[in-house]
Amino acid sequence: MANLDNQYNEDSIRSLDWREHIRLRPGMYIGKLGDGSSADDGIYVLVKEVVDNCIDEFTMGHGKRVELTVADATVRVRDFGRGIPLGKVVDVVSKINTGAKYDSKAFQKSVGLNGVGTKAVNALSTHFKISAFREGRAKTAVFERGILVEDNPETATDEPNGTLVEFKPDETIFKNYHFLHEYVENQVWNYCFLNAGLQIHFNRRNYVSRNGLLDLLSRKTNPETLRYPIIHLKGNDIEVAITHSGDYGEDIYSFVNGQHTTQGGTHQAAFREAFVKTVREFFKKDYDASDIRQSICAAVSVRVQEPVFESQTKTKLGSQYVSEGGPSMKAFIADFLNKELDNYLHKNGAAAEALKKRIEQSERERKELSGIRKLANERSKKANLHNKKLRDCRIHLNDELPAKNKEEFQLKQLESTLFITEGDSASGSITKSRNVESQAVFSLRGKPLNCYGLTKKIVYENEEFNLLQHALNIEEGIEYLRYNNIVIATDADVDGMHIRLLLMTFFLQFFPDLVRGNHVYILQTPLFRVRNKQKTYYCYNDDDRKRAITDIGPKAEITRFKGLGEISPEEFARFIGADMRRDPVLLTLDAQIQKLLEYYMGKNTPDRQLFIINNLRIEKDLPEELGVEVG
């Protein structure tokens, strides 16, 4: 018999207003929520949506300076563009399908064409204040969670033209959130690199780039490892910077209309293909594509009229054409490189020769590894990877999108996580408590090898490393990476921290783009459990423990977790769920990986010993000048 409580009738149909829909389905508008530990968490998308409007003003020739302040969970953005027309200030931040970007004459090649961005920021903030200044007049409105609470009349002002937005993300949606300075700074630098001459004043420091993508690659690379000077090419609606280093991997930064497309798209695919084709034709040799792109570090930026993205968060470009009636993306980039890169190589013989030597070196290394790879793959099959080492999940980062509910599926892809654990007991606890849809577990056996200074041959000869790279699907680079998040989950003791360091060395040595792409994290689990019959506290440090004891009293039961295997699956579910604490492994813009690894993992024992003695602190206090931070 049908359940009368579940009848489907007219009363089942609801109509949500704009703010209700955004708050009920925030992922549709800003991607995954998160607590700020990941670069693609929603709070950074909120910042981007507001700053994007300032950049659009600069691109249209109005306002060369943007002021950005992030402090005490509040964001303040002031530009000096034209300012919103005063009579429309309330509408443009509170009415869907309202804005100037539908008029392609006003915003020819803008990032935000859907009129949603600042509305989402407004709806998802406990405090949202907007002020517009135009020709000596000002208009201010204040909202709370998208509801208008102050609609102030126009007043006279001495403020220069422009717009001021101040907001505080809603802590009921972004739980336990915090802004990481490094992520915001990276956003700021990208804006500057893509808009030469733009000044952004962020938290008392001024950021500016005079040479665009040339400056970007100069900061992203170590000049000592470059095989030839950075090639910098500019044309109408396209800019490219290219070089090769001595590092492993393929590092390509792609942008469209000033938006960092972290998941690539049609423009990045077109660049990769066009670069290979141009190089082959220049040298008149059919080099393998992987040899040409091995160790490449490049950036490509294009301007597209009314771009089409594959999601609201604009991380992957879907546009097939540069403009209506214009060339295809593939033809546009291919024609540009075929002319400009070919000309450059003809005029710069030394750079061309260095590029050729780098390609031939990659070719030799690939052929030397081919036999080892074959044996390693056979060992992988014998090891029965998917049953013995890897407890896989159902959804992966690069799975084919379904015909329906694409955006919902993409959000689940962003949540895809591989936990790397030490030993069977820890992996057993996580396996029993994980979300089988999006969380996988890889179990290490003992301590990994210190691979600093070794060649990639060791990745295939060492069973643990070989199985791990197969699990991640990164043998040919990270383009087909299976998990968006790689979380190192080791015990909070000396051995566990040593394993962390060895795994970080592995990633930095052979797959540095995983770290640069913000895919690698350290799981934080509680050190203590303090409880009585009424209350239970999980404590991540000694201060937490002292506060818990004070609250519970002297009869508190205190448990010190010595290893992850001691935490029951029921308890573990608390620590890898929605409130999971994880610290990102970050590289600063000027980090020099080989110098970093040489210092911490090389044979300079006396220097490192002295450093340890003088710096008996946790990982978060590692010296900034070495360019690494955890959290």
pLDDT of residue 409: 86
> pLDDT by residue (tens digit) across 557-596?
999 887 787 888 888 888 898 778 899 998 876 667 777 7
Strand, helix or coil at 243? strand
Kind and range of the H or E run holding 35? none
Determine the average pLDDT of the residues in 246-263: 85
β-pairing, 528-531 vs 520-524, is unpaired
> In the chain, count of helices (H) and strands (E)?
22, 24
The predicted pLDDT at position 102 comes to 42
Does residue 113 contact residue 101 with C-beta atoms inside 8 Å? yes
Higher pLDDT, 338 or 110: 338
What's the mean per-residue pLDDT of the chain? Answer: 85
Would you state the pLDDT for residue 335? 95
Residue 395 has a pLDDT of 94
d(CA 331, CA 559) in angstroms, rounded, equals: 64
Distance CA 419, CA 490 (A): 9
Question: Residue 12 is inside which H or E element, if any?
Answer: none
Residue 144 has a pLDDT of 95
Flag whether pLDDT at 603 surpasses 80. Answer: no
User: How confident is the model over 214-223, as pLDDT tens digits?
Assistant: 999 998 888 8
pLDDT per residue as tens digits for the range 79-118: 999 999 999 999 889 877 555 554 444 445 555 544 568 9
Q: Tens digits of per-residue pLDDT, 132-177?
A: 999 999 999 999 999 999 999 999 999 999 999 999 999 999 988 9
Q: Which residues of 390-406 are buried (b: 16+ CB within 10 A; e: fewer)?
A: bbbbebbbbeeeeeeee
Q: Strand locations in 152-204, DSSP E?
A: 155-156, 162-169, 199-202
Q: How far apart are CA 10 and CA 124, in angstroms?
A: 30
Whole-model pTM: value is: 0.81
Q: Is the C-alpha dihedral spanning 561, 563, 569, 573 positive or negative?
A: positive
Q: How large is the angle between the packed helices 593-601 and 605-614, nearest 10 degrees?
A: 90
The string of pLDDT tens digits covering residues 390-447 is: 899 999 998 888 888 887 888 888 899 999 998 777 788 889 999 999 999 999 888 8
Helix (H, G, I), strand (E, B) or coil at 162: strand
Domains of the chain, start order: 18-208 (3.30.565.10), 213-365 (3.30.230.10), 384-525+563-630 (3.40.50.670), 528-557 (no CATH)
The predicted structure's pLDDT at residue 403: 80
For the stretch 9-32, pLDDT in tens is 555 445 567 788 888 888 888 888
Which string of b and e fits 532-567 if b means at least 16 CB within 10 Å?
A: eeeeebbbeeeebbeebbeebeeebeeeebebbbeb
Which of 53, 57, 69 minimizes the C-alpha distance to 205?
69
% of the chain with per-residue pLDDT over 70: 88
* Alpha carbon separation from 107 to 220, 311, 367 (Å, rounded): 31, 20, 51
Contacts of 329 (CB under 8 A, 6+ apart): 266, 267, 270, 302, 304, 319, 320, 321, 322
pLDDT tens digit string along 57-90? 898 889 899 999 999 899 999 999 999 999 999 9
Choice between 280 and 452, residue whose per-residue pLDDT is larger: 280
